Structure 1
Amino acid sequence: MHITLYRKYRPKDFSEVAGEDEIVTTLKNSLRTGRIAHAYLFNGPRGVGKTTVARLIAKGVNCLENGITDTPCNKCENCLSITEGNFMDLIEIDAASNRGIDEIRQLKEKINYRPSKGRKKIYIIDEVHMLTKEAFNALLKTLEEPPEHAIFILATTEPDKILPTIISRCQRYDFKTLNYKSMKEKLLYIAREENITIDDGSLALIYESSTGSMRDAISILERVMITCLQEAITIEKTEEVLGITSTVKIKKFIEIIKNSDTKEAVIFLDELWQESINIELFFKDLAKYSKDLILKNEIELELGLNIIDVIYETLNRFKFEEDKRLVGYVIVNIILKKSEKIISVERVIEKFEVQEEIIIDVSIDEIRKQWPMILTAAKKQKITLGAFLIGANPVRIKGNTLYIGFDQENSFAKEQMESEIYNSIFTEVIRKITDSNIQVKYEVAGRKKENKAIENDLSKKIMDFFGGEVIS
């Protein structure tokens, strides 16, 4: 008789549980020290091991060989019966099936009977939040005064629907979805045991499709294994089995977006439709792939977020539209419009950065040699330039910028040269003489002189410039 992979590789002891390390450690310590609660509440998404861990607790308290233990033997009659699912003192109630009122009544009537073969009777109530109000009230009375030989394990995906009075009587453990590392290790272990090779791309796809549920992941792996018939599992085969758009197509579409090619994008969507590829699923896969590219720094953040935002907003807005190809056209149009703005800004920034990095083939020594010629030419263009540049000197060239230094007492002249009118004229003069596209900036250089020295120095410069003399 065929046994599904999930049942075949269901953890037989705590060491085989994937993930949930903190919960497993705490429960093992409880069993090892004998500090066992009479009621537990296991909360978490489906398929993450709530019922599995509950059964391991049942083994831990009922193992015949090792006693109450965190390492059940898995050989004795009780351990084997729990593994096979026919242990008489393990009662599982599915509250989702019939709302549980009859089962809870029977539980209340029979709970005082001692265990048949084990030390403890274990009651696992799955999807406990689905119980009726009457069933909840009956359960509450049982939890208030439970017999010593009974342990209750309540499992739920929606704890907010459970009466606070019930939650307060339980030790609560919140299970989480499995991370990729834990799930990958478990899937690789199963693959090795089944003599199957599987690539990392397939493992990543299975993880994404399972949304962190170990049970779903193993079921998906089994589907892929059956399809591949003992062949190596590759990402291409996994994509085909799961109905996921190939990464090759997604990469091609992203390149079309980057190139802002609307016509090519429409043709691409038509080809998908002709190949009977689900357009809506394609865009959802594109969004997931864009997320991965963002995390890997392989796409511009703005572009990646733009793709994800537009896809989900548009799919939600047109969720009742049957022709998803038309919805695809809308998505393409919006993405390309927004992306074009992003790309245009990036191109401007890139162009600016390139200009900033231009190195001018003129040395500071050449500028200093040509400085008298530059001053004469500037004075001819605007006579006041000659006055403002008295005492100014070329200091250095950095990149494509020439820095002109002024003494501190000439800060007024520096401020005048920084104005648009004087700077543009002077810059143009320097560019013509040096045959370059140089920029000019001004700075204060040197220490401030004594007031008398400043007065004498400035007076001399003004007289020299205008050809005057001092009249006492």
Structure 2
Amino acid sequence: MENFIVSARKYRPESFDTVVAQSSITTTLKNAIKNNQLAHAYLFCGPRGVGKTTCARIFAKTINCSNLSDDIEACNECDSCKAFNTNRSFNIHELDAASNNSVEDIRQLIDQVRIPPQVGKYSVYIIDEVHMLSSQAFNAFLKTLEEPPKHAIFILATTEKHKIIPTILSRCQIFDFNRINISDIATHLEYVAKSEGAVADKEALNIIAQKADGAMRDALSIFDQIVSFSGKEISYQDVITNLNVLDYDYYFRMVDHFQKNEVPETLMIFDEILNHGFDGHHFINGLSNHLRNLMVCKDTATVKLLEVGGEIKERYKVQATSCENDFLLKALEISNECDMQYKPSQNRRLLVELALIRMAQLTLKKK
């Protein structure tokens, strides 16, 4: 039986051009290589799963390549690139500061830094979760970080830049990685699905992208989970069932009933949602997001803020035309008020039901 490789590893970018949604950073790094203006220390900051360690590895591979392409990408053919691709390169050294955060660990690293590379120009030291180093380890690291040997380059990666002492920050070039937006994640998932021979609904991929919360690694892990559940045909229904996500249809029906002042129908939909095991707070947050999406659909300038695609986007546009701005604004205020009062409330179901009744009577008051 062939060993399974998770998508986050199988589709990990191997060149600057394949890194998703971090073009400003990859362009800067490529220009630095092209102009031979390499710093001795870099700090890569940003949320989890956005490409910090991946970019560090690509950078280490590229600066040691002996036959760079015209667009500053590694050739994958020289000895250095082949060694890197088969995980036997001695030019790249990775340290996990979460588990190696003592002074002794840093002293071992400092001793290692003195040894020049046997192949290639540079030894690259990638320190993950660098904010986990102890204050004594940081102090032991300072001198080497400021004046390393010419062959040594440090790349520090962290999700919590504010925890790093200023003396370390002042010695590094700092790159802030962005959260990856939903459309970029969905597009990449579509590419992965095609590569795996899977057929996926755009709405399904969009839900996975939303659930990933800006992290490509999380999105690929969720994708693998869905494939295990539904096989090579990934439907919207499979995704919302597996991820326990409320169907958009509930919110569309709810707003339709609000428009018709149908209080009993509104309360019955909420009861159905609770009977399916969903939390009232989860529902009211989803309703707030739905109302917000209808609001941004009211103007062509803000419709690009709608982070859904396909048929769902068209449904939003249609429903938005039947909702007045005044209704949406007041309904948003009610749902936001319910959200803030939910946790301290003693009767949470009643709190949500009262909010729904108030929303269902907004158009009645206007009449």
Q: Same fold (TM over 0.5)?
A: yes
| Equivalent residue number for residue 92 of structure 2 | 90
1:150 aligned partner, one-letter code: A
- Asked whether 1:162 is paired with 2:164, we answer yes
The CA deviation at 1:114 is 1.1
1:308–1:113 CA distance, 2 compared to 1 (3 A): farther
Rounded to whole Å, the distance in 2 between the matches of 1:96 and 1:311 is 41
Are the aligned partners of 1:93 and 1:103 in contact in 2 as well (CA < 8 Å)?
no
Measured against aligned partners, the alpha-carbon deviations of 1:89-142 in whole angstroms (never above 9, x if no partner) come to: 212122223435332121122211112433211111112122111111112121
Deviations 1:268-327 (A, max 9, x none): 232223233343333333333333222223144454455555445544544377x9xx52
Q: Which position in structure 1 is the counterpart of 2:245? A: 244
1:142 equivalenced with 2:144 (yes/no): yes
User: 2:100 and 2:333 mapped to 1: Cα distance?
Assistant: 41
Name the amino acid aligned to 1:343: T
> 1:45–1:157: 8 Å Cα contact kept in structure 2?
yes
Is 2:258–2:359's contact at 8 Å kept on the other side of the alignment? no
Match of 2:221 in 1: 219
Structure 1 residues 301 and 159: CA distance shift in structure 2, 3 A: farther
Which residue of 39, 42, 45 corresponds with 1:40? Answer: 42
Letter in 2 for 1:319: K
Q: Quote the Cα distance in structure 2 between the aligned partners of 1:91 and 1:140.
A: 18
**Superposition pairs of residues 214-293 of structure 1, within 5 angstroms:** 214-231=216-233, 233-293=234-294
Does structure 1 residue 334 correspond to structure 2 residue 355? yes
User: Is this contact kept in 1: 2:16–2:58, CA < 8 A?
Assistant: yes
- Match runs of 1:111-190 below 5 Å: 111-190=113-192
Cα displacement (A) at 1:164: 1.5
Q: Offset of 1:52 from its aligned partner?
A: 0.6
**Deviation of the 1:329 alpha carbon:** 2.9
Q: Where does structure 1 lack aligned partners over 5 or more consecutive residues?
A: 348-472
Q: Deviations over 1:234-264 (max 9, x none)?
A: 2222111211111222222222333344433
Give secondary structure in 2 for the equivalent of 1:152. Answer: strand
Question: Normalising by the residue count of structure 2, what TM-score does the alignment of the two structures yield?
Answer: 0.84
> How far did residue 12 of structure 1 move?
0.8
Cα offset for 1:339? 5.8
Decide whether aligned partners of structure 1 residues 69 and 331 sit closer, same or farther in structure 2, where only a CA change above 3 A counts: same
Partner in structure 2 of residue 343 of structure 1: 363
CA gap 1:82/1:278 in 2 versus in 1, 3 angstroms = farther
**Structure 2 vs 1, CA of residues 333 and 90 (structure 1 numbering), >3 Å: closer, same or farther?**
same
Check whether the contact 2:209–2:219 (CA below 8 A) recurs between aligned residues.
yes
Q: Deviations over 1:196-229 (max 9, x none)?
A: 2222212221221111111111112222222221
- For 2:228 and 2:333, the matched residues in 1 are separated by 37
Q: Residues 267, 335 of structure 1: CA spacing in aligned structure 2 closer, same or farther, 3 A cutoff?
A: closer
Aligned to 2:311: none
Q: Which residue of 2 aligns with 1:8?
A: 10
- 1:13 corresponds to which letter in structure 2? S
- Supply the distance in 2 between the matched residues of 1:249 and 1:88 (Cα, whole angstroms): 56
RMSD: 2.6
The offset of 1:73, in angstroms, is: 1.5
Once the two structures are superposed, residues 150-206 of structure 1 have per-residue CA deviations (whole angstroms, 9 ceiling, x without a partner) of: 111111122122111211111111111112332233222111111122222122212
Question: Between the two proteins, what is the percent identity of the paired residues?
Answer: 35
Whole-angstrom distance in 2 between the partners of 1:309 and 1:95: 45
Q: Report the secondary structure of 2:49's partner residue.
A: coil
CA contact 1:38–1:146 (8 Å) conserved in 2:
yes
The structural deviation recorded for 1:54 is 0.4
Do the aligned partners of residues 69 and 269 (structure 1) sit closer, same or farther apart at CA in structure 2, a change above 3 Å counting? closer
AA in 1 matched with 2:150? E
Matches within 5 A, 1:344-423: 344=364, 346-347=366-367
Alpha-carbon distance change, 41 to 337 in structure 1, aligned in 2, over 3 angstroms: same
User: Partners in 1 of 2:340 and 2:93 — Cα distance?
Assistant: 44
Match of 1:452 in 2: none
The answer as to whether partners of 2:92 and 2:124 remain within 8 angstroms in 1 is yes
Cα distance in structure 1, aligned partners of 2:118 and 2:81: 14
Q: Which moved more, 1:123-132 or 1:274-283?
A: 274-283
> What is the CA deviation profile of residues 65-84 of structure 1, one whole-angstrom value per residue up to 9, with x for unaligned ones?
44998210223443244345
C-alpha separation in 1, matches of 2:100 and 2:336:
37
Taking a change above 3 Å as real, the CA distance of residues 83 and 343 of structure 1, as seen in their structure-2 partners, is farther
Deviations 1:335-371 (A, max 9, x none): 432563x425644xxxxxxxxxxxxxxxxxxxxxxxx
Distance 2:343 2:100 in 1: 33
Change (3 A) 1:108 1:311: farther
* SS of the residue 1:96 aligns to: coil
Deviation at 1:60, TM superposition (A): 0.8
